[in-house]
Amino acid sequence: MSLFWLTAAFVLLAVVLPPIAQPQSYHAFVDARSLLGVPNFWNTASNLAFVIVGFAGIALLTPARRLAAHFRDPAERLPYLAFFAAVALTGFGSAWYHLAPDDARLVWDRLPIALACAALPLALFADHDGDRYRRAVTAGILPALGIGAVTVGWWAHTARDEGGGNLVPYFALQAYAVAATLWYLLARPPRYTRRNDLWVVIAIWGLARATEWLDAFLYANGWLLSGHTLKHLLAALAAAWVLRMIRRREPLAGPAVATTPVPAS
């Protein structure tokens, strides 16, 4: 299956699958402890990890001249820059949500997550096909981020008209980010070293989702932190592993790439 058909399949799923509503019980996280006057302290404070990783990624990726050893074309860094900016915004949005969880605040938690999920496949596209589709990398950033925003906007819009709204497009985008990563790992030759770090990213992300589902179970069985707090820390670690991959990788031998200077952000 080509990436085109993989993408088309997820778009079709987002359209035809029956709606998945947002249950109000989602907002009742098991760890509601306050500390230093901050409600839901651990679920709120753990978002600092996203802010740290996000700003570390932004610092690495600007200015472009630092990255000659890590990117064959400086334009290929731009989707990663969008990804880490979204990771930093996730920290702020999720902290805002966890101070007083409800649907209105959840929009600002999910919006940057969706932007990160939209930016990462484009970053991998640049990593693997940047030689052939250099212009598509830069041209695709805003449309990709727009699609990510629409998935959350659709849920927020439908939540006003239907009980709980429809989360299918948002979940489909997250699943697509994982599926696209697997597709590149299994179907496309690498242009950079360290690509196997993406397997670690997927494993950490899967563990983060597992701890989220086990939120109450872990907390009830004597863990210092709840599953949802651990989910924040593990998801931030997954993003940090992407940053680690970029820091350590080198271009593999191949034809020279004609580069176009990209202004430093």
Q: What is the pLDDT of residues 161-171, one digit of tens each?
A: 767 899 999 99
What is residue 86's predicted lDDT score, i.e. its pLDDT? 98
pLDDT at 250 > cutoff 90: yes
Residue 220 lies in a domain: no
- Domain extent at residue 104: 3-15+39-184
Report the distance separating Cα 87 and Cα 240, nearest Å.
Answer: 10
Do residues 83 and 123 lie in contact, with contact meaning Cβ atoms separated by under 8 Å?
yes
Report the mean per-residue pLDDT for the chain. 91
In a domain, 44, yes or no: yes
Residue 58: Cβ-neighbour burial (10 angstroms; 0-12, 13-18, 19+): middle
- Interval 128-157 mean pLDDT: 93
**Do the domain assignments include residue 174?**
yes
Does residue 225 sit within a domain? no
The pLDDT of residue 263 is: 39
What would you measure as the largest C-alpha separation in the chain, in angstroms? Answer: 58
Arithmetic mean of pLDDT, 193-219:
94
Q: Is residue 242 part of a domain?
A: no
Query: 231 lies in a domain?
Result: no
pLDDT of residue 260: 37
Instruction: Give me the pLDDT at residue 208, please.
Output: 96
- The answer to whether residue 212 is domain-embedded is no
Residue 245 has pLDDT above 80, yes or no: yes
Q: Is 100 left (phi over 0), alpha (psi -120 to 50) or beta?
A: beta
Average of per-residue pLDDT across 103-126: 97
Least confident of 184-188, 198-202, 219-223: 219-223
Confidence of residue 134 (pLDDT cuts 50, 70, 90): confident
Q: Is the pLDDT of residue 265 over 90?
A: no
Q: Which of 23, 57, 29 is nearest to 232 (CA)?
A: 29
Which tops the pLDDT comparison, 225 or 258?
Answer: 225
Residue 165 lies in a domain: yes
Residue matched to tokens 């449309």 = 143
Q: Would you state the pLDDT for residue 130? A: 87
179-203 burial, b if ≥16 CB within 10 A, otherwise e?
bbbebbbeeeebbbeebebbeebbe
Q: How confident is the model at residue 264 (pLDDT cuts 50, 70, 90)?
A: very low
Domain count, the chain: 1
The model's pTM: 0.91
Question: Is it the case that residue 225 has pLDDT exceeding 60?
Answer: yes
Cα 221 to Cα 170: distance, rounded to the nearest angstrom:
31
